[in-house]
Amino acid sequence: MRFDDKYKEVHCTYYDEDAHYWHVDAWRTDDPTEAGMTVAVINDFGGVFYADPDAQLCTMVVECIEEKLTEMEAEAVKTQTQPETITITLSESQHPAAFNAKLKDLINTGLEKDEARRVIYGGIEMEILHSPEFGTFLVESESLESANGVVDPYTGMRIVIPED
């Protein structure tokens, strides 16, 4: 018997919540009353474990597993936590200390004063961060990208953003 002829139908649609496995189930015939059998399982990390050693040689099983792994990867990317951001607009008259401090920071980076004002009036994107140690606070998105001057507002300690 060729391994590709061993199963007539293969599905990976059942997820066992308790065991954290996707079941790769196969059927030997087209008979709708036939009970399927689990020929492999895929864990949450993409590890594949074969209950039937022949299954890893069956094209239908391999394709089903590859399809589920691709689906799992796409779902992981889709559900990755995106940073929550808000845009802050500083007013020169209502927030003079913050406005002038930001203006000074931007001028120190090489921007002309008028250009720096336009940047501030356009809004400053802030990311909402939370850490058990430091609590919840806002950090400029640009600061996070450059790991430049990210400081806890309560303790004054520099926050180190781990690289991926």
Question: How do the pLDDT tens digits run along the chain, 164 residues long?
Answer: 455 678 899 999 999 998 889 999 999 888 888 888 999 999 988 889 999 988 989 999 999 999 999 998 888 766 655 667 778 888 888 888 888 888 888 888 888 999 888 888 888 777 777 666 666 766 665 544 444 455 544 445 555 555 54
- The length of the chain in residues reads 164
Domain assignment of residue 56, given as a range:
3-78
pLDDT of residue 142: 55
Residue 155 forms part of a structural domain:
no
72 and 90 belong to one structural domain: no
Residue 152 forms part of a structural domain:
no
Q: Which of 25, 57, 78 is the last residue of a domain?
A: 78
pLDDT of residue 39: 95
Residue 153 forms part of a structural domain:
no
| Pairwise CA distance, residues 14 & 37, whole Å | 12
Residue 53 forms part of a structural domain:
yes
| 8 Å CB contact between 13 and 27 | no
| Pairwise CA distance, residues 155 & 88, whole Å | 22
59 and 102 belong to one structural domain: no
Give the 3-state secondary structure of residue 129: strand
Residue 52 forms part of a structural domain:
yes
Q: How many CB atoms lie within 10 A of CB 41?
A: 21
93 and 125 belong to one structural domain: yes
| Pairwise CA distance, residues 156 & 139, whole Å | 13
**pTM of the full predicted structure?**
0.48
Instruction: Identify any residues that bridge with 37 across adjacent strands, giving them in sequence order.
Output: 26
pLDDT of residue 125: 79
Domain count, the chain: 2
Residue 134 forms part of a structural domain:
yes
